[in-house]
Structure 1
Amino acid sequence: MMQNFFRTLDLFGVQYMIISGQAAILYGAATFSEDIDLWVAPEKENWEKLMKLLRKFAGRVYKLTPPITLELILKGHGFHFEFPPTKREQLSWFLDVLGILPRLSTFDISWQKAISMKACLGKIKVIGLRALVEIKKTRRLEDYPVISNLVRVEYEKLSTKKISLKDWEWILTNSYNLDDILYYFERHRASREVARFLQRPCLSYCLKFIDSQQKKEKYFKLASKKIALEIEESRHRDRQYWAPILTELRELKENGKLLPQGSTPPDRIL
């Protein structure tokens, strides 16, 4: 059913990208995701095509889904759907859809850098790896090892040729894995040169770790503390982003304005 669903997304002309956990799996940076997340171009006609497709595949509204209006789509709300079991698929599967994402600019810019992949779902559109790294800078601690895995995937792709200084800047800015950073430093002189100009304290301690003979443990601990602080700051920024959206969602719930769980998606977007 999922394969047919994604094939029909293209037939219906829905502009979408797979994001979050499932995208990380497709890049080889994660092994498990409970649901499928889609970024759908935030345009009324595009979302009406999606609603038509959801109804065609017997999709039903799942928990805590607000009214599907263009206003709430553009505010960054998430919309949640469940697909019932079939003869082939004995378990339900879940779809989360957004029109606006944190830390990224417009859909069109990310769409230009998205890639087409062949997977068990068929040929699908997947958000670009570097945009995915930004998406994964969430309040969830478990996302940060995934980010480092994605950075490593990008490094491995780039290392087949000379890595540019700009690419080194991206790699060293986004990895949260000290062992990986030290590996880059030990293998690539250019990475160390770039690190000296980046305003990231953990990199300074990693450079001292490489240069030191007596105080390696000290500098490793200091670098670890700086990375932990960075992660907490990133988690805080994500909580700040979602706070007004969650506040509005609670208000909708208190006023009885959420879509009923199990209801059919609307055919029109207001």
Structure 2
Amino acid sequence: MTSSVPTPVRTVLTTTRRHGVRALLMGGQACILYGASEFSRDVDLAIYAHPDNLSRLQGALDELGASVTAVPPFAPEYLARGHAVYFRCAAAEDMRLDIMAVMRNVPDFETCWGRRTIATLDEVGEVDVLGLEDLVAAKKTRRDKDWPMIRRLVDVHYAEFANEPTDSRLAFWLRELRTPEALVDCVRRAPEAAQRMADKRDAVAFALQASISDGPLWPMEVPLHEEEMRERQADEAYWRPLLQEQEVLRHAARRGQRPPLGGGGLTA
């Protein structure tokens, strides 16, 4: 995977790389590298939240002239609870940089690190990128914009590797394909694997039926929509207490205070 990147993105990535920050590129920039997007306004990083690594990250942030733009502050306890920390990088054309250490649906950092993708970027070098399966999982949010991106990510991967199936690729496609035509094509190519998956995913069962009867594909949109709604609701529930904590922090910031974790409306 080789690509060029805009100057401010390159500045952020070269700086974190030079400081030895252990991080995984995710979000829109990762989607670009996987061929599912053409543009993103910010840089998103999954960070290994070990004190030594956070110290290296702080050095990179200082060089980037990065300042926190919202709550919560940049502190390990907030990262550990699943919050994102948002920065603007003055030395990188005011590029926005979002940092997370814990994400819903996504394994711990060490697991993600072990199955990362390494991209070679012009004038940057090697960059560690969140693996495709983990990126798809991370994109299953309550936000409207993420669901078309999930669809494109998996479609691009299927189009590239459909003629080179492996057990792990088949499992990924049958679990994540969201385009009816592609899913029907997949079950036709791998009917035995599809039969095993059909009990776990209604969309695959519908695709199997369509592949046998050569019937219409629109009924598959029903289970696909239900899947999406379940994930959106789960993400809403995940973020609800975090958003409540952020609101407490905003009120505290207006008063010139910072409530400790476990107090002032925050729970341990």
Q: Same fold (TM over 0.5)?
A: yes
The CA RMSD measured in Å over matched residues stands at: 2.3
Q: Is 1:71 matched up with 2:68? A: no
**Alignment match, 1:208:** 209
Whole-Å separation in 1 of the counterparts to 2:137 and 2:256: 30
Match of 1:168 among 130, 149, 170: 170
Shift of 1:204: 1.7
| Percent identity over paired residues | 26
SS of the aligned residue for 2:49 comes to coil
Query: d(CA) in 2 for partners of 1:259 and 1:11?
Result: 35
Count residues in correspondence: 247
Partner Cα separation in structure 1 for residue 139 and residue 98 of structure 2: 15
Following the alignment from structure 1 to structure 2, what is the Cα–Cα distance between the partners of residues 27 and 6? Answer: 17
Partner deviation per Cα, 1:126-152 (whole Å, 9 max, x = no partner): 111111111111112332222222223
The residue that corresponds to 1:263 in the other structure is none
Once the 2 structures are TM-superposed, how far is the Cα of residue 18 of structure 1 from its aligned partner? 0.5
Task: Answer yes or no: is the 8 Å Cα contact 1:144–1:176 preserved in 2.
Answer: no
Tell me which amino acid in the other structure corresponds to 2:41: E
One-letter code aligned to 1:208: Q
Shift of 1:97: 0.6
1:158 deviates by 3.7
Q: Is the 8 A contact 2:155 2:179 kept in 1?
A: no
Q: TM-score, normalised by structure 1?
A: 0.83
Aligned twin of 1:31: 38
CA contact (8 A) 1:81 1:95 kept: yes
TM score, norm. by length of structure 2:
0.84
| Structure 1 residue ranges (4+ consecutive) displaced by more than 6 angstroms after TM superposition | 257-260
Q: Where do 5+ consecutive residues of structure 1 fail to align?
A: 261-270
In the alignment, which of 18, 26, 36 is matched to residue 25 of structure 2? 18
> What's the counterpart of residue 137 of structure 1?
140
Task: Measure the CA separation in 1 of the matches of 2:75 and 2:60.
Answer: 17
1:82–1:95: 8 Å Cα contact kept in structure 2?
yes
In structure 1, C-alpha distance between the alignment counterparts of 2:226 and 2:241, rounded to whole Å = 24
Query: Which residue among 9, 16, 30 is the counterpart of 2:16?
Result: 9
